[in-house]
Amino acid sequence: MYYARCLRFALHMLSDRDDAEEAVQDTFIRVHRALPKYEEREAFEPWLFRILANRCRTAGGRARRHADVVEYGEVPERPADHAEDDAFAWREAIRAALVSLPRDQREAFLMRHVEDLTYEDMSVATGARVSALKMRVKRACDALRALLSEEKHGG
Amino acid sequence: MDEREGALGRAIDALRALPDVRSEATARLLIAVAAERQREREAATGRMRRRSRGPAWIAVASAAAVVLGISQIPAVRAVESSAQIGKTALPAHSVPAVPVSSAADLTNSPRSVQLVLSAPGARTVRVVGDFNGWNDRQSPMVRDDASGLWNVRLMLRPGRHVYAFVVNDTQWVRDPRAAAAPDADFGRPGSVLLVGRP
């Protein structure tokens, strides 16, 4: 289902569920409006993610009201009650590492390794060249690997 | 180096988990899409451009009655109160302001519309509608402690709007005195508000 995928991407980009849901809703409305202009020979996913990434950039440019909370799958709703939980600490480490990346690196990393877009599709979605996207992904992976290898969790 | 190995690989696995989808979020989305479709239909048929000079104020007043959520609304008096644009307070135990606009304003510009709901036991009430993208954070209502009425003033363009109240952040409530929006078929209640043009 595209909604869940879009929400996953938006959550990782925005670190706030309300903002992410709003971005996804805006995306679907814009997709609906733009469908008459959509050409079937154009791949749908990069087209969808182009709109979604734009909405996330717009949302990310606004005030970051809840930058300290993000949800990954089964994250407890009250993480403070599970401060000793290794799984939560691991997710929190991932979140912190992801947030520390420059936005364009985070976006490229998520599109490539979480959403499984090809570099060609990513180029359509972002407007960046393939070579630039590969560099962003590499830098993101290097940074995440360095940050997360310091963690003791997740084994 | 293979990204799927080591700590990075485990992080990618965690990031790939699909999040839970909140039913209220998908309901908002479906209603928003339905409202978008409705706007398209109206634009296509030219309904938005239809003028009805005489009943214009009646349309506004009817919309007010629809959203006031209280009984025995003196519509005529409400229309007359439209002269007090932007100045109408919400006195305790009285009829609150209704959609108001300037008789001199003959354009398509937004009109001041006050929505009111009687919900004395509520902790929070917000308005969601096509006019705010069904964003439940954009239009919080203010409670009048004496009367238990919640109200908010919005600037809405003339035309048909679909809206609902969100009580205590979770409960979607259709206005009990408003016409039900056909969009309600999507799992959440909705009401119709008509803002007329003079």
Q: Over 70: is that where the pLDDT of B167 sits?
A: yes
More confident residue, A122 or A73: A122
* Of B174, B166, B121, B167, residue with least CA distance to B145: B121
Calpha distance B102→B104 (Å, rounded)? 5
Q: What is the mean pLDDT of residues A1-18?
A: 91
Calpha distance A6→B43 (Å, rounded)? 30
For the stretch B93-144, pLDDT in tens is 333 333 433 333 445 777 778 788 888 888 999 998 888 888 888 889 988 7
Return the bridge partners of B100, or none.
B112
What's the pLDDT score for residue A5? 95
Question: Where would I find the H helices in chain A?
Answer: 2-14, 17-34, 44-61, 86-100, 103-109, 119-126, 130-149
For B17, the closest of A22, A73, A155 (CB atoms) is A73
Q: pLDDT band for position B53 (50/70/90)? A: very low
Return the bridge partners of B129, or none.
B163
Pick the residue from chain A with its C-alpha nearest to B36: A29
Calpha distance B93→B112 (Å, rounded)? 22
Calpha distance A87→A139 (Å, rounded)? 26
More confident residue, A30 or A1: A30
Q: What is the mean pLDDT of residues B189-193?
A: 82
Calpha distance B158→B139 (Å, rounded)? 18
Task: State the count of interchain CB pairs (< 8 A) between A and B.
Answer: 95
Calpha distance A72→A110 (Å, rounded)? 14
Calpha distance A122→A128 (Å, rounded)? 8
Type of residue numbered B90: L
The interface predicted TM-score of the complex, written ipTM, equals: 0.82
* Of B159, B108, B98, residue with least CA distance to B130: B159
Across the interface, whether the CB atoms of A145 and B135 are under 8 A apart is answered no
Residue B91 near residue B121 (C-beta atoms within 8 A): no
Q: What is the mean pLDDT of residues A39-63?
A: 82
Rg (CA), chain A: 16
The secondary structure of residue B120, as a DSSP letter, is T
Return the bridge partners of B155, or none.
B112
For B7, the closest of A24, A29, A154 (CB atoms) is A154
* Chain A interface, best mutation among B1, B2, B3, B8, by max A CB count within 10 A: B8
Size of chain A, expressed as the number of residues it contains: 155
Contacts of B36 in chain A (CB under 8 A): 29, 32-33
Q: What is the mean pLDDT of residues A80-107?
A: 83
For A8, the closest of B19, B133, B134 (CB atoms) is B19
Q: What is the mean pLDDT of residues A79-98?
A: 76
Instruction: Label the pairing between strands B191-195 and B159-167.
Output: antiparallel
Q: pLDDT band for position B28 (50/70/90)? A: confident
The CA–CA distances, whole Å, from B38 to A22, B72, B158, B161, B183 equal 21, 31, 15, 10, 9
Calpha distance A72→A81 (Å, rounded)? 17
What's the pLDDT score for residue A7? 96
What's the pLDDT score for residue A98? 94
Contacts of B1 in chain A (CB under 8 A): 141, 145
Pick the residue from chain A with its C-alpha nearest to B40: A33
* pLDDT mean across residues, chain A: 82
List the structure tokens of B143.
């409670």
What's the pLDDT score for residue B69? 31
Across the interface, whether the CB atoms of A25 and B3 are under 8 A apart is answered no
* pLDDT mean across residues, chain B: 66
Across the interface, whether the CB atoms of A12 and B15 are under 8 A apart is answered yes
Type of residue numbered B144: D
Q: What is the mean pLDDT of residues B32-37?
A: 74
Q: Is A127 exposed, middle or buried (0-12, 13-18, 19+ CB in 10 A)?
A: exposed
Across the interface, whether the CB atoms of A71 and B20 are under 8 A apart is answered yes
Contacts of B14 in chain A (CB under 8 A): 72-73, 90-91, 94, 154
User: Please, what sign has the CA dihedral across residues B37, B40, B44, B48?
Assistant: positive
Q: Is A117 exposed, middle or buried (0-12, 13-18, 19+ CB in 10 A)?
A: buried
Contacts of B6 in chain A (CB under 8 A): 145, 149
Q: Over 60: is that where the pLDDT of B72 sits?
A: no
* Chain B interface, best mutation among A148, A150, A151, A152, by max B CB count within 10 A: A148
Q: Over 70: is that where the pLDDT of A152 sits?
A: no
Calpha distance B77→B3 (Å, rounded)? 70
Calpha distance B157→A149 (Å, rounded)? 55
pTM above 0.95, yes or no: no
Pick the residue from chain B with its C-alpha nearest to A73: B19
* Chain B interface, best mutation among A1, A6, A7, by max B CB count within 10 A: A7
Question: Where would I find the H helices in B115-160?
Answer: none
More confident residue, B94 or A72: A72
List the structure tokens of A101.
């990346």
Give A42→chain B minimum CA distance, Å: 23
